[in-house]
């Protein structure tokens, strides 16, 4: 999640009206060349080329969009420039060169106000792995016509785009999603660490979880135990995923939202406490699955291939 929680905004500047109903189902679309792209989306600006954004921008390029990029990291800009992608020094220059602007930034405080007539808040779920594979899920808030107009972008970077209602609802959905994710990661990590203490290998327990009632994404797709699963942050010292500080931030938002709504939130509060502690102990930059090692003191496992 994503997982980051990272926030993205789509702001189509030349969207056309559409009669598309968000209750209808639709399949992902791919484009072989810019000649097949909607005229209002041919030139795409992309701001924010971090772990997630760089991969998402690459997928837009592969889909045939003409992409212009910006990031504060000059090394990243040089990399895209060497690929033949247009780069700009400021977000305003990106906006001027683009029909639509995508931002993929750490928090709403970083999002530039580009003063476009249409704006969608579209947080993503799936993390770096899904960003690389183009299988992200987008939770979208804003007008229905802007959502319909932006579909080709969503399905060039992901496998799903769910309309959540008016402006801000995408972010609200993401907060709820990350709350459930945090709690499931804590539950899986706690159970696996307990299993190790009782003499049951984490790989054995994971196999049990994944074919029984405990199965969840934190177990079968993002296992927190180093050595159990390849290609996930736990296999690379918890680097390159959704930082614990971002999970703590989303849990803070969830707790505040629950208070304002008058909802009970004991699990939110406990998860918030754990991830805040994890960050205070110096692990804020590590993927949130590092809670297995640094909170529960779970052990690495060497699995025979």
- CA 209 to chain centroid: 25
Closest CA to 235 of 188, 173, 302: 302
Q: Please give the structure tokens belonging to residue 168.
A: 């801000």
Residue with tokens 């993929």: 104
Residue 192 neighbours by CB under 8 Å, 6+ apart: 202, 205, 206, 224, 225, 292, 298
Whether 88 sits among the annotated catalytic residues: the reply is no
Q: Give the H or E element holding residue 69.
A: strand 66-70
3-state secondary structure of 305: coil
3-state secondary structure of 249: helix
Q: Give the H or E element holding residue 158.
A: strand 158-165
Q: Please give the structure tokens belonging to residue 1.
A: 């999640």
Point out which residues pair with 68 in neighbouring strands. Answer: 45, 86
Catalytic residue among 88, 116, 151, 174: 174
Catalytic positions: 174
């Amino acid at each position: 999640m994503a997982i980051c929680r990272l926030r993205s905004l789509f702001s189509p500047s030349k969207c056309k009206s559409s009669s598309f109903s968000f209750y209808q189902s639709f399949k992902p679309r791919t484009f072989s060349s810019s000649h097949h792209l909607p005229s209002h989306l041919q030139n795409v600006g992309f701001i924010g080329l971090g772990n997630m954004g760089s991969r998402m921008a690459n997928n837009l390029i592969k889909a045939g969009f003409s992409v212009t990029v910006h990031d504060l990291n000059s090394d990243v800009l040089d990399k895209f420039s060497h690929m033949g992608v247009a780069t700009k020094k400021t977000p305003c220059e990106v906006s001027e060169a683009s029909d639509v602007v995508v931002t993929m930034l750490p928090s709403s405080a970083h999002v530039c106000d580009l003063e476009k007539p249409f704006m969608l808040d579209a947080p993503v779920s799936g993390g770096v792995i899904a960003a690389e594979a183009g299988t992200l899920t987008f939770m979208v808030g804003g007008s229905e016509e802007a959502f319909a107009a932006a579909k080709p972008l969503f399905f060039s970077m992901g496998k799903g785009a769910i309309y959540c209602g008016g402006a801000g609802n995408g972010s609200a959905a993401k907060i709820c999603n990350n709350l459930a994710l945090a709690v499931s990661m804590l539950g899986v990590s706690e159970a696996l660490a307990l299993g190790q203490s009782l003499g049951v290998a984490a790989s054995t327990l994971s196999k049990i979880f994944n074919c029984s009632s405990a199965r969840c994404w934190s177990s079968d797709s993002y296992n927190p135990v180093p050595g159990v699963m390849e290609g996930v942050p736990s296999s690379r010292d918890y680097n390159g995923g959704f930082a614990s500080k971002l999970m703590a931030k989303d849990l803070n938002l969830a707790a505040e939202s629950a208070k304002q709504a008058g909802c009970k939130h004991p699990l939110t509060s406990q998860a918030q406490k754990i991830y805040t502690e994890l960050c205070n102990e110096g692990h804020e930059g590590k993927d949130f699955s590092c809670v297995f090692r640094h909170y529960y003191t779970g052990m690495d496992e060497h699995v025979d291939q």
